[in-house]
Amino acid sequence: TLAAVAAIHARDLGWPLACVGGDSAGGTLAAVAAIHARDLGWPLALQLLITPSTTAHADTPSHLSFATGHLLEAEMIGWFFDHYIDKAHRTDWRFAPLLAEDLDGVAPACFSLAECDPLVDEGLAYADRLRLAGVPVELELFKGVTHDFIKLGRAVPEAHKAQAALAASLHAALF
């Protein structure tokens, strides 16, 4: 799994722990990897979750509010979902980590969310679920930006702020 690969590479670098992270669908995969790592007994220092998708259905209020005109649109999300997983399997927590039965003991999480993103509500909801499970959570909501802002460092100053915050959290978790 991704968590196992991360842990092996961490050991190669002399780090005592590993981290997982990603943005958008990569954030989803990182959240799932953190749950798997817990289940396998792999120690993770941190999960970096940048605008992750965590729900089974694109049905949160932010999905309606930002359905068009904000980079990641409802039609595109539908296309991604339809090409990624059959509707019958969408409630599997490995697709929608918000639906995981138990989040106790997963790695601490650092979230970077975009205010004008269809996925913002599910990111907030997942952070809340983690907090309820006793997982330490850092969360920054970047105002006025859309999904994928993290990749727009030349044009969006918030991208640099998010990258710096993520790097600081990663450094604090590993050193």
Catalytic site includes residue 147? yes
Neighbouring C-beta atoms of residue 160, cutoff 10 Å: 13
CA dist., res. 89 & res. 71, Å (int): 27
Q: For residue 175, name the pLDDT band (cuts at 50, 70, 90).
A: confident
Q: What are φ and ψ of residue 102, in 5° steps?
A: -135, 125
Q: What is the pLDDT of residues 108-151, one digit of tens each?
A: 999 999 999 999 999 999 999 999 999 999 999 999 999 999 99
The catalytically annotated residue of 36, 63, 70, 147 is 147
Percent of the chain with pLDDT over 70: 90
Catalytic residue chosen out of the listed positions 23, 24, 36, 62: 24
Catalytic residue check, 117: yes
**What's 130's DSSP letter?**
H
